[in-house]
């Protein structure tokens, strides 16, 4: 029996693409951000449906599946409410998205469930409620915090991966890479055309480097790989670095290192001053294409309709930074494929 999946909060299709690489048939993806439609449908054999999870019921989801298939319901609710940056904050309205995901599980009754989010989610009541609901619905459950380099992703990203099955006990497949064999920033980016700050690749609209002010150009030239602003001459230091509150933020205006995995890619990754997003050897911030490669998207993955003359840089960066790394999606997908095969399906 083949596995059919519906991808909730599908974004630009990172999880869906990984599932398809693993041999899972993804029927459709749901998201309220219509900017996701082009990359999702262009790169995947799945339909994009623009609907709010809060407003749909299980019957609508169930109609997507064919008869006599193993049904997988996957979802990665927006992680911002649960991140370190929001610890101690009041309850975010977006928590309701995870409760709606739980509700849809009870209504659809899929054979398999996958949920991916930030590790900090486990500190919140909504996660405890989610786990308890799965137990009440007689799912076998496993969860783990995944360090992405362990699975061939060139990025120091940590993600909570929860898997649930009504078929039997399930566990994420073992890591595929040991520390000495981690994929590096160099492995991912070496073969792209060289750019100066402000330049772009005429063959790829996403391979475009943001411009730098004269002082930021001096700063990046003075930066060492995996170093910090403390490597600069004092005259290049920003006023925030001289305040006690700013001294701990050593990665801001930093360079990545060629020979280690990249830092976590965020929605501001194209901005040199927003983190350790300086290119390891070129005097500029990384491009969106480089960010996508570090998120393990294939080089051929299209995020922008070529018929559009200009595109919104911050919008595409948001799609890339918020995506599930494609390779992680493939690892989760392979886990499900192996799981159902081991139980004779």
Q: Cα 244 to chain center, whole Å?
A: 32
Rounded Cα distance between 285 and 219, Å, is 12
44, 16 in Cβ contact below 8 A?
yes
Instruction: Name which of 267, 289, 281, 282 is nearest 203 in CA terms.
Output: 289
22, 330 in Cβ contact below 8 A?
yes
269 is catalytic: no
Rounded Cα distance between 242 and 226, Å, is 20
Strand order in the sheet with 47-49: 47-49, 25-30, 3-8, 70-75, 112-117, 158-165, 140-147
The one catalytic residue among 28, 36, 76, 79 = 79
Residue 86: other Cβ atoms inside 10 A: 13
If you compute the radius of gyration of the chain from its CA atoms, what whole number of angstroms results?
A: 21
Residue 309 tokens, joined:
């003359």
Q: Is 295 helix (H, G, I), strand (E, B) or coil?
A: coil
Instruction: List Cβ neighbours of 282 (8 Å cut-off, separation of 6 or more).
Output: 194, 195, 196, 209
Q: Cα 182 to chain center, whole Å?
A: 18
Give the β-pairing of 140-147 and 112-117: unpaired
Residues annotated catalytic, as ranges: 79
């Amino acid at each position: 029996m083949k596995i059919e999946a519906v991808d909730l909060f599908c974004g630009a299709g990172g999880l869906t693409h990984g599932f398809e690489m693993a041999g899972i048939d993804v029927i459709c993806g749901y998201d309220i951000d219509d900017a996701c439609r082009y990359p999702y449908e262009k790169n995947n054999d799945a339909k994009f449906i623009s609907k709010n999870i809060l407003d749909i019921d299980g019957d609508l989801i169930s109609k997507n599946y064919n008869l006599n298939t193993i049904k997988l319901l996957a979802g990665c609710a927006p992680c911002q409410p649960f991140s370190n940056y929001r610890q101690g904050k009041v309850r975010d309205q977006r928590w309701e998205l995870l409760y709606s995901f739980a509700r849809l599980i009870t209504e659809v009754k899929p054979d398999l469930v996958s949920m991916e989010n930030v590790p900090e989610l486990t500190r919140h009541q909504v996660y405890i409620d989610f786990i308890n609901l799965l137990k009440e619905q007689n799912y076998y459950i496993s969860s783990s915090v995944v360090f992405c380099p362990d699975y061939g992703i060139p990025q120091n990203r940590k993600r909570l991966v929860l898997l649930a099955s009504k078929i039997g006990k399930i566990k994420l497949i073992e890591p595929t890479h040991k520390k000495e064999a981690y994929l590096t920033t160099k492995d991912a980016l070496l073969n792209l055309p060289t750019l100066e700050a402000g330049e772009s690749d005429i063959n790829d609209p996403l391979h475009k480097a943001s411009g730098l002010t004269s002082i930021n150009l001096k700063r990046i030239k003075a930066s060492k790989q995996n170093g910090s602003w403390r490597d600069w001459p004092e005259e290049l230091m920003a006023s925030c670095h001289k305040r006690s509150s700013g001294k701990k933020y050593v990665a801001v205006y930093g360079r990545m290192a060629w020979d280690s995995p990249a830092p976590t890619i965020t929605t501001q990754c194209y901005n040199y001053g927003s983190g350790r997003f300086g290119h390891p050897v070129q005097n500029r911030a990384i491009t969106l294409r480089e960010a996508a490669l570090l998120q393990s998207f294939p080089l051929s993955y299209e995020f922008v309709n070529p018929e559009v003359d200009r595109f919104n840089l911050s919008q595409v960066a948001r799609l890339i930074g918020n995506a599930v790394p494609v390779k992680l999606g493939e690892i989760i997908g392979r886990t499900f494929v192996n799981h159902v095969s081991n139980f004779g399906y």
